[in-house]
Structure 1
Amino acid sequence: MLSFNSVSSRVLQTLNSTFNFTATRHACKITSIHAITSMKTQPNQVNHSVELGNRRKCLLDRPGLFGIKRGMITWFNDNGRQFPATVIEIDSVEVIKHKTEQEFGYTSVMVGAVDKLKNVNNLKLFEQAGVSPKHKLGEFRVRSETGLVPVGAELKADMFAVGQMVDIKGITKGKGFAGVMKRHGFKGLAATHGVSKAHRKQGATGGNQDPGRVLPGKKMAGRMGGRSSTEMNLEVLHADGDAGILVVKGCIPGPNKAYVKITDSVKLYGKSIESIERD
């Protein structure tokens, strides 16, 4: 029969060999955690970098145009049916510069529209491109360098085919300070039953205790219009490259004589690099 002292000594030897324990006056101590070799973990992958964002972004294969909204007309089809349409002028749209992924982190084409005769800025930029100075400058992101159009090339209205869908982006008409009924489409308060001089107001805006305040982004009265807006999937009805006329079905944002940005429909023709690799 083994004694208690012999069993305890064997237990201490086993602990010492297995867990690096040391016994002092019948008390056990473990080695400091700082003496144990640590294992380095892999750094987290940053999903918000420019390179990964370019792979996820739904981009088009070619740039678009800048146009001038000239007004709305009534368009008749072959069957005699009529519907509203918008006339857009395409005036002297030329490629100014390329931006590559190696230099800027993304690929885009800088395009200018409408010749400018005086008070010209960045004259060196236009001289390098071999084009006349422009009133309107802007960029069009493309999927890869295969979509870069040669510098100095003129882009005409007939680059869009009749029947295809386009997206048009512009600045909406500024309407000044507006109430909630005009700005957000609220129905307002009751016209009777004790409502006094508050028929077009919004009603309660925040709770007393929960949340006890007005949350950010609450739809309230304020400045209406003057913001960027995009009309998507508009059908091209007519495209005349020599005359510089583009007619699209429906209405587009902005007043007459305002610049608009015209591109192929992103929902129909746009793809991301990740989706192409998966296919």
Structure 2
Amino acid sequence: MSGIIGKKVGMTSIFDETGKNIPCTVIEAGPCVVTQVRSVDTDGYAAVQLAYGEKKEKNTSGPLKGHFEKAGTTPKRKLVEFKTFTDEKNLGDTVTVDIFAAGDFVDVVGTSKGKGFQGVVKRHGFSGVGMQTHGQHNRLRAPGSLGASSWPSRVFKGMRMAGQMGNVRVKVQNLQVVKVFSEQNLIVVKGSIPGAKGSFVILDK
């Protein structure tokens, strides 16, 4: 199992051998620098920390500056740890998109688009209380009853109600890699991934 940090570029479509139009997402993945190698002896677990995305030195804290200098690289914006890697990595090594090949299946983790405060119809797919009849004029998108009155005299936890929608960590599994462009550090996967254009994503092999 290997992984890399990337950035969502946008969506496009590619025609396959049969002439079918396949919707795809373009991801700019890497190059990532190994900034820390954790071991069971020193940290209690084994992992490889990767860094991606340039960051201004004036916006980087002192401890992080020393952390990046130890790895021999400039300050980075995104740090992610990967528990297992197929190849042994050393401090300062570079991980590129070449770890993937066309036909591989990857898991993509991203932060979904924030939708703000939404009602039950948009957030949970409710159909509303009923038609606009029998004197009802403002109940089309209402949630309806929330529970009994005398018992339990409260609203149960987990009740589907209006609230914050989106802006959560989402993983999409088993997306097929369609093409890999090593020179441009681009990878094209089949289907859609969470997040807005320009947002960070994590790819697991």
Q: TM-score, normalised by structure 1?
A: 0.68
Deviation at 1:79, TM superposition (A): 1.2
What's the counterpart of residue 193 of structure 2?
252
Percentage of pairs with the same residue: 36
Q: Deviations over 1:187-236 (max 9, x none)?
A: 21212342330111111111224433211111100111111111111110
SS at structure 1 position matched to 2:154: coil
Supply the AA of the counterpart residue of 2:75: P
1:1-279 matches, cutoff 5 A: 61-62=1-2, 64-119=3-58, 120-121=60-61, 122-142=64-84, 148-194=88-134, 195-264=136-205
Alignment gaps of 5+ in structure 2: none
CA RMSD, aligned part only? Answer: 1.7
Q: Deviations over 1:233-253 (max 9, x none)?
A: 111011122210011011100
| Contact 2:116 2:166 survives alignment (8 Å) | yes
Pairs aligned (count):
201
Alignment gaps of 5+ in structure 1: 1-60, 265-279
| Contact 2:30 2:95 survives alignment (8 Å) | no
Measured in 2, the distance between the counterparts of 1:213 and 1:101 equals 48
Deviation at 1:160, TM superposition (A): 1.1
Structure with higher strand content: 2
Larger Rg: 1
Structure with higher helix content: 1
Deviation at 1:141, TM superposition (A): 1.7
Deviation at 1:105, TM superposition (A): 2.2
| Contact 2:30 2:97 survives alignment (8 Å) | no
State which drifts further: 121-130 or 225-234: 121-130
Q: TM-score, normalised by structure 2?
A: 0.91
Supply the AA of the counterpart residue of 1:84: P
Measured in 1, the distance between the counterparts of 2:142 and 2:198 equals 35
| Contact 1:98 1:148 survives alignment (8 Å) | no
Supply the AA of the counterpart residue of 2:46: T
Measured in 2, the distance between the counterparts of 1:101 and 1:147 equals 17
Measured in 1, the distance between the counterparts of 2:79 and 2:91 equals 14
